[in-house]
C-alpha cells in the first residue's frame, strides 16, 4: 500500500463556447472546493472571450472570471478527468469507459443580459454543491 497522497479527483465542464455555463461551473467548483479538486472547462467551439453578462453575474456573487479565456475541448482533457459534465454540447464530447458523465440541461446565456444569467448562475451553483456532496468533497465555504 502506497503512502503517497491520493490523487485529487478531477472534473471537466464542457459547453459549446466555454464562455458561459462551463466557465461559471468551473469557477464555482474552484471557489467552493479550493485545491481539493482539479477543475477544467472547455468548449467544442470556444468563443473569443467570456460572456460579459456571465462575468458580471459572477462578480455579483464575489467571483471574478473576467480574466478567464475559453479553451478548446481536447481528447486529453476528457481522458484526464474523472467526471465530465456537458451542458448542451451534444455529441461533441468524446466518451471513454470508466468516466462518469453527466449532462446538465441549462439555458444558454449567450446573447442574454445579466438579468437572464442570474437564474442560470444560481442553478449552476446548486448543481456544483450537489456534485461536491456526491463526491464527498468538503466545501471551503
Q: What is the pLDDT along the chain (141 residues), one digit of tens a residue?
A: 444 445 789 999 999 999 999 999 999 999 999 999 999 999 989 999 999 999 999 999 999 999 999 999 999 999 999 999 999 766 667 778 889 999 999 999 999 999 999 999 999 999 999 999 999 988 877
In the residue annotation, 89 being an active-site residue is answered as yes
93 a catalytic residue = yes
- Do residues 141 and 83 touch, judged by C-beta distance below 8 A? no
Taking residue 115's Cβ as centre, other Cβ atoms within 10 Å add up to 9
Contacts of 2 (CB under 8 A, 6+ apart): none
State pTM to two decimals. 0.92
Per annotation, catalytic residue among 27, 93, 106, 128: 93
Active-site choice (15, 29, 42, 85): 15
Q: How crowded is residue 59: how many other Cβ atoms within 10 Å of its Cβ?
A: 13
Domains and CATH numbers, the chain: 10-132 (3.40.50.2300)
User: If you search the block for the grid coordinates 466518451, which residue do you land on?
Assistant: 95
The single residue of 42, 54, 89, 124 carrying the catalytic annotation is 89
Amino acid at each position: 500500500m502506497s503512502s503517497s497522497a491520493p490523487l485529487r479527483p478531477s472534473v471537466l465542464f464542457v459547453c459549446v463556447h466555454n464562455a458561459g455555463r462551463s466557465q461559471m461551473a468551473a469557477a464555482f467548483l474552484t471557489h467552493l472546493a479550493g485545491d481539493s479538486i482539479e477543475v477544467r472547462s472547455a468548449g467544442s467551439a470556444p468563443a473569443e472571450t467570456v460572456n460579459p453578462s456571465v462575468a458580471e453575474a459572477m462578480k455579483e456573487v464575489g467571483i471574478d472570471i473576467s480574466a478567464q479565456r475559453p479553451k478548446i475541448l481536447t481528447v486529453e482533457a476528457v481522458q484526464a478527468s474523472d467526471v465530465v459534465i456537458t451542458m448542451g454540447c451534444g455529441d461533441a464530447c468524446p466518451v471513454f469507459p470508466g468516466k462518469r458523465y453527466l449532462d446538465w440541461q441549462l439555458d444558454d446565456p449567450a446573447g442574454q443580459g445579466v438579468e437572464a444569467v442570474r437564474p442560470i448562475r444560481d442553478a449552476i451553483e446548486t448543481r456544483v454543491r450537489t456534485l461536491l456532496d456526491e463526491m464527498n468533497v468538503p466545501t471551503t465555504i
